[in-house]
Structure 1
Amino acid sequence: MGLLTQGSPMSWDKTQQHAEHVHKHGILQFLHIYRAVGERRKDLLQWGDEVEYMVVAFDHENKRARLSLTGEEIAHTLQDEVERVDSNHPTLWKPEYGRYMVEGIPGQPYGETMSEFNTVQENMRKRRQEAASVLKQNEALCTITSFPRLGCPGFTVPECVPTPVETGASKSLFFPDEAISKHPRFGTLTRNIRHRRGEKVVINIPIFKDRNTPSPFIETFPNDDGEAAKAALPDHVYMDAMGFGMGNCCLQVTFQACSISEARYLYDQLATMCPILMALSAAAPFYRGYVTDVDCRWGVISASVDDRTREEKGLEPLKNNRYRINKSRYDSIDAYLSESGEKYNDIDLAVDKEIYEQLVKEGIDHLLAQHIAHLFIRDPLVLFEEKIHLDDANESDHFENIQSTNWQSMRFKPPPPNSDIGWRVEFRPMDVQLTDFENSAYVVFVVLLTRAILSYKLDFLIPLSKVDENIKVAQKRDAVRQGMFYFRKDIYKCGNVTVGGCGPAKNVPETDAEEYILMSIDTIINGKKGTFPGLLPILNSYLESMEVDVDTRCSILKFLKLIKKRASGELMTAARWMREFVTNHPAYKNDSVITEEVNYSLIWKCNQIAEEQAECPELLGACFNKVNCNETKTDAF
């Protein structure tokens, strides 16, 4: 979630008064970091994952599943135990936006050796077991992306009633402030985003039209002061609070590169993969008690923190604001960072010109200066009275204030001051999966992909406008089977790798052939003869070139087989499986409504699958925990 500073948070009006100070000193802090470690080389290739969980309370007698507002307490209990027992403990814990949420990460980063891949699932199991040990009776730790009845009456334990009044944080008709973490950052973010934009956030997600769904689908809101009626669109599910986005769960992976140039290269290459993994990991088809026509959380979370004013969105002439801003603070990236990516930067980019010129004058190259100056068109949203005047040479809170509230699909992360941490990139688009096995599979796939990118100097770059189009496609219902995505045809910069009989195009001038074409997820991941080699065959080629022990090879194989079969459609995404579960439930009325009973059945089934107490071959395959390591390469990929 970002910087969890403690202190006395300021109102939006007071925060705004210090915005120039934060911008000025945030840039000075970045420059101190850059001067200190910009030329550093040979940092270790390390990486780690972040898994977010929801604490669910089951009422089996009344067939209800609700969110337990104990997540923050659980996170503190677990982390206190970690710090008391062992500084090298295998897990670490943090609170998250929702009081029903917990974030777990490995206690130590994973390293360069291939054997590390054999420990990922076990570490995730360890996290789930540790958290389960402090749960109350009939509570469960669930890795579900979106709770289907989030925002419905009585969705929390204890039950809380929304108070849509100005003195609260969200002013929501549906999401009670009591469901927001007590850490001052979260409530302040919620309030200040609303105050900055001058109205509540507006989230409209198209409803899935089943045979008994009203058409047009139009909601009424009894406690509305008129704002909701104005904002809600016909045939859409309307939501009005940050909690509907930041109250979802995700799966993220962070990589430490060997140098800043390598980090920038990875940032660019992985940015093109964000829509592909978004569609592959789709796990969020339900919102505010309705079946919707999207499969991912991305659009919801993007709208939930959109603090742009009407002027910044281009709806009114610029008067009180400086920039037209095309996207929310939570969205896809707007510029590549490497030299090879510069020619594909075809999106209009708003930058703070004074900051850009300052950075260039201080020796920062054009692309990096442009990136930082673009981040700094945003205002600070949370500022603590105790954290205004800082030592710019040894602290980075003002830089992180802006950096950590630009929630983009990729994040480029400079090292903290005076640390041995290197330049990092964070891969952010994935929905969290139901099981530790699935989450491990997606993490291992992305990490292996970075290894192949660096080893083979792969080039996935396409115009960023096409990446944005892919992001839109990725969120659509069943995009993994139905969507077509722009992807680069020739991904070998050096032209010296051939995989599966489909290497780089030969003797074809770049001007005579499109660099990218529309492909299916199946083609991108598994390959298609004569069209594209496929990422999994490339990863298999990479693995064949490495020394990998049998156990690790077996673990990797089972993970990649899941990715293969999800991409081909042989196995369902979580979103598709959830849809089919709901639509086939005997209590479902084909009206797009998820009742308490349907919600209970779905979440209980999800919990049983996660706890390995129920099989789900259509989601996981017949034997997801064991793979015959004598399978041939052809069988596997």
Structure 2
Amino acid sequence: MGLLSLGTPFDWKQTKIYADEIRKRGVKQFCNIHRKIKDRKNDCLKWGDEVEFTLVKFDHKNKKCYLLLKADEILPTLQGPENRDEKCLTLWRPEYANYMVEATPGAPYQHKTSCFNRVEANMKLRRKQVQDILGEDEYILSVTAFPWLGCSNFTFPNFKPTPGEGITTSLFYCDQAIYAGHPRFHCLTKNIRERRNRKVDINVPIFVDQNTPRPFIEDLNQYGDDPRPDSESKLASKPDHIYLDAMGFGMGCSCLQMTFQAQSLEEARHLYDQLTPLTPIMLALSASSPIWRGYLSDVDCRWNIISASCDDRTLEEKGLEPLKENRFVINKSRYGNIDSYLCEENQKYNDLTLIKDEELFQDLVQNGVDESLAKHIAHLFIRDPLVVFEEKLYINDDEETDHFENIQSTNWQNMRFKPPPINSSIGWRVEFRPTEVQMTDFENAALVTFIVLITRAILSFKLNLIMPLSKVDQNMETAQKRDACLNGKFFFRKNIQTDNGTECELTEMSVNEIVNGNDQFPGFIHIINEYLSHLDVDVDTQCTIKQYLHFIEERASGKLMTTAAWIRKFVRSHSEYKKDSKINEEINYDLMWRIYLISTGQIKCPELLNSYETKSTI
């Protein structure tokens, strides 16, 4: 979601004028926070989840399913209790697309183990609150990537793309699909495109089936592309890849995220570092997006797609032209994996080239920020601000943090380190960001509970998961491959029950071995159960957690399919599928309707879920 300040947004030319000033003042604002709150301690554990939901409209007569552009209509109703200062069990926020809504619990969960028994019930309540205000044949789903996104008439109401014009200038994605109720989303889209001086280009490898054309090359002229052979789209698209050309193909996807409040700044940094090696494992375990623009792909996850969709780097910054207008050659998109650990003892594992703004780094150090944290902030601030509001340009740096959050919130990485809001009771936090959303509340609650319990075990047992960051990057690539949860091999520490001073020895393990263990590695299910054995957990919560862990155990072992594997199997078994990698409207309709029936418990799907029935309650 990011920073949702209101105002009159600058276009890119205006934004560029103020970029240096905003960076300098953003760092000053961080230094003010750090000086005031760096020694704050003894905040209690608080945590919460964010689920991004998708709105759809079914046409049962014609067997079609559309993305429903109705978020702007329903959000005022959903946010009504909060705006009236009523006690809320749920909170609602807009997301990038007008077919998306983001929901969180009304207040953070606390340290009590009984909170684990509330997560699923709260997610069900969120789903019900939306469903109750939707119209006929309109439904709320939790799916990562809508299969027909970017295909002909993929929205309801229907709108056409405007190639070469408008906000996206896309061949496939209509501007009306972007949420217009807040200027941030249009401005992000346009300014990323204008900053890089070309459309975003995303190429997803095609899944080669029996009748898939080889090479697979689309005729882009049919979508209104420039007929010349050297058009922007033709130059950007690759053979044997599905070509996407708009931010909405990434930011229009949904995910499941978790935020944890730490006891102190030191503990937040520790959790940030220790959770980073787990991000690829959770990405593979939650894989749920194998279809892009109506084609079966050879990947199971959204990560690289969304990374490319937010990549605002110029050709100079990508190292394809000499630096003239820009300051740095930058190795990654601003949506990607972290480039540095935050704790001093983990600096030796920062084996990636860290590009940082040297001037801002010195400012941070001179203002009392230690070098490890200063490097992190100075690295984030090599990026330009993307959304600048005229009314927020001149603010009090001692009392406000919009300039810091402007750049902080548009560095979308697999982990996010979050300083406390100024003059707030909220503490130092970390956000776990890679997990793909699942189709049922049970699955989403299980993944959330699993990660939260791992954070508790890390702190209680002094576990050490740190590995070279280059290996985390390799693992993130592995995690996105087809059937990575079943077949992928991931670098991981051989011994995680060691002191930080012990030499890091890595081995390659499957998700199953990391989660469930092997002869040399205990596995996280065993570690979590050992942690829980030391706690006083009520019977109902025990029952619920046991079922969540059993589901994770079976998903990791391959006894249960990932959502991506199940979707792929569904498509390839469909009577309308021609073994050509193409998903037509009837397949899309049948798939979405099946997902709806599974998500509401109207039909069982033993390949995905056993017959779980938890004791979760509000």
- TM-score between both structures, scaled by the size of structure 2: 0.97
Superposition deviation, residue 81 in structure 1 = 3.6
Distance in 2 separating the partners of 1:237 and 1:566: 28
Equivalent residue, structure 1, for 2:311: 306
Select the residue among 498, 501, 509 that pairs with 1:519: 509
Specify the SS of the correspondent of 2:135: coil
Distance in 1 separating the partners of 2:597 and 2:74: 21
Superposition deviation, residue 353 in structure 1 = 0.0
Distance in 1 separating the partners of 2:522 and 2:76: 47
* Deviations 1:267-317 (CA, angstroms, capped at 9, x unpaired): 001111000000000000000000000000001000000000111111111
Residues 21-40 of structure 1 aligned to structure 2 (within 5 Å) = 21-40=21-40
Is it true that 1:57 corresponds to 2:47 in the alignment? no
Equivalent residue, structure 2, for 1:44: 44
Equivalent residue, structure 1, for 2:287: 282
Equivalent residue, structure 2, for 1:500: none
| Structure 1 gap segments, 5+ residues each | 496-508, 628-637
Contact persistence 2:35–2:368 (CA under 8 A): no
Specify the SS of the correspondent of 1:29: helix
Equivalent residue, structure 1, for 2:421: 416
- TM-score between both structures, scaled by the size of structure 1: 0.94
| Structure 2 gap segments, 5+ residues each | none
Residues 163-174 of structure 1 aligned to structure 2 (within 5 Å) = 163-166=162-165, 168-174=166-172
Superposition deviation, residue 494 in structure 1 = 4.8
Equivalent residue, structure 2, for 1:533: 522
Distance in 2 separating the partners of 1:286 and 1:76: 32
Contact persistence 2:464–2:499 (CA under 8 A): no
Structure 1 stretch displaced more, 86-95 or 156-165: 86-95
Is it true that 1:257 corresponds to 2:245 in the alignment? no
Superposition deviation, residue 65 in structure 1 = 0.5
Is it true that 1:595 corresponds to 2:584 in the alignment? yes
Distance in 2 separating the partners of 1:573 and 1:413: 31
* Deviations 1:87-106 (CA, angstroms, capped at 9, x unpaired): 32100001110000000100
Specify the SS of the correspondent of 1:430: coil
Equivalent residue, structure 2, for 1:202: 201
Specify the SS of the correspondent of 1:453: helix
Contact persistence 2:52–2:437 (CA under 8 A): yes
Residues 82-93 of structure 1 aligned to structure 2 (within 5 Å) = 82-84=82-84, 87-93=86-92
Equivalent residue, structure 2, for 1:179: 177
* Deviations 1:465-492 (CA, angstroms, capped at 9, x unpaired): 0000000000000000110000001111
Superposition deviation, residue 5 in structure 1 = 1.3
Aligned structure 1 segments of 4 or more residues deviating by more than 2 angstroms = 81-84
Equivalent residue, structure 2, for 1:224: 225
Contact persistence 1:88–1:108 (CA under 8 A): no
Is it true that 1:72 corresponds to 2:60 in the alignment? no
Distance in 2 separating the partners of 1:332 and 1:4: 24
Distance in 2 separating the partners of 1:494 and 1:15: 47
* Deviations 1:382-414 (CA, angstroms, capped at 9, x unpaired): 101111000111100000000000000000000
Equivalent residue, structure 2, for 1:624: 612
Specify the SS of the correspondent of 2:434: strand
Specify the SS of the correspondent of 1:429: coil
Is it true that 1:355 corresponds to 2:381 in the alignment? no
Superposition deviation, residue 624 in structure 1 = 1.5
Q: Residue type of the partner of 1:64?
A: K
How many corresponding residue pairs? 608
Contact persistence 2:161–2:171 (CA under 8 A): yes
Specify the SS of the correspondent of 2:73: helix
Distance in 2 separating the partners of 1:90 and 1:125: 11
Q: Residue type of the partner of 1:186?
A: F
Specify the SS of the correspondent of 1:209: coil
Q: Residue type of the partner of 1:367?
A: S
Equivalent residue, structure 2, for 1:130: 129
Distance in 2 separating the partners of 1:389 and 1:251: 35
Give percent identity, aligned residues only. Answer: 56
Contact persistence 1:276–1:474 (CA under 8 A): yes
Contact persistence 2:81–2:88 (CA under 8 A): no
Distance in 2 separating the partners of 1:570 and 1:187: 43
Equivalent residue, structure 2, for 1:577: 566
Q: Residue type of the partner of 2:51?
A: V
* Deviations 1:407-429 (CA, angstroms, capped at 9, x unpaired): 00000000011000000000000
* Deviations 1:28-48 (CA, angstroms, capped at 9, x unpaired): 111111111110000110000
Distance in 2 separating the partners of 1:535 and 1:76: 42
Specify the SS of the correspondent of 1:55: strand
Distance in 1 separating the partners of 2:475 and 2:179: 33
Select the residue among 294, 298, 314 that pairs with 1:293: 298
Superposition deviation, residue 510 in structure 1 = 5.8
Equivalent residue, structure 2, for 1:467: 472
Contact persistence 1:58–1:64 (CA under 8 A): yes
* Deviations 1:56-112 (CA, angstroms, capped at 9, x unpaired): 00000000000010023222220124433x532100001110000000100000000
Superposition deviation, residue 581 in structure 1 = 0.6
Equivalent residue, structure 2, for 1:142: 141
